[in-house]
Amino acid sequence: MELNSNQIAELLPHRYPFALVDRISDYEPGQWARGIKCVSVNELFFCGHFPQEHVMPGVLILEALAQVGAVAILSLPENRGKIALFGGIKQARFKRKVIPGDVMDMECVLTGHRGKVGIGTCTAAVRGEVVCSAELIFAVSEE
């Protein structure tokens, strides 16, 4: 199943400039999701990070991965209308810079949950090369 930016906005509360997923290419509700982020020189964060050499901030790469994972968990019927909040970040590793013109392919596999808390194993890649991997912990909350 594929979701465009308007359909993603129906699931996630994020709006410009924090809507960081352009498309969900496939997903299985409650299990996993894959998405893309087309990085443009027009991104607001490039005004200050860094003006002399544009580099996408690592925290925003993690946020984009978290949004992909949020699609997987919030697409479950019982979680519609709720939000997924960060509970923690483990084992985050950055392997290379993400720059304008890159297309980040992202995946988040939900590996476990207990009650409202869950864990996702996430990876972002550009042209098949891993740029970031992390284990993200989230909590599903009422809006």
Q: Which residues carry out catalysis?
A: 49
CB-based contact 118:60 (threshold 8 Å)? no
Structure-block tokens of residue 83:
């939000």
Which residue type is seen at 91? Answer: Q
Joined together, the tokens standing for residue 109 give: 């596999």
How many angstroms separate the CA atoms of 89 and 32, rounded?
18
Q: For residue 51, what are the contacts with CB-CB under 8 A and spacing of at least 6?
A: none
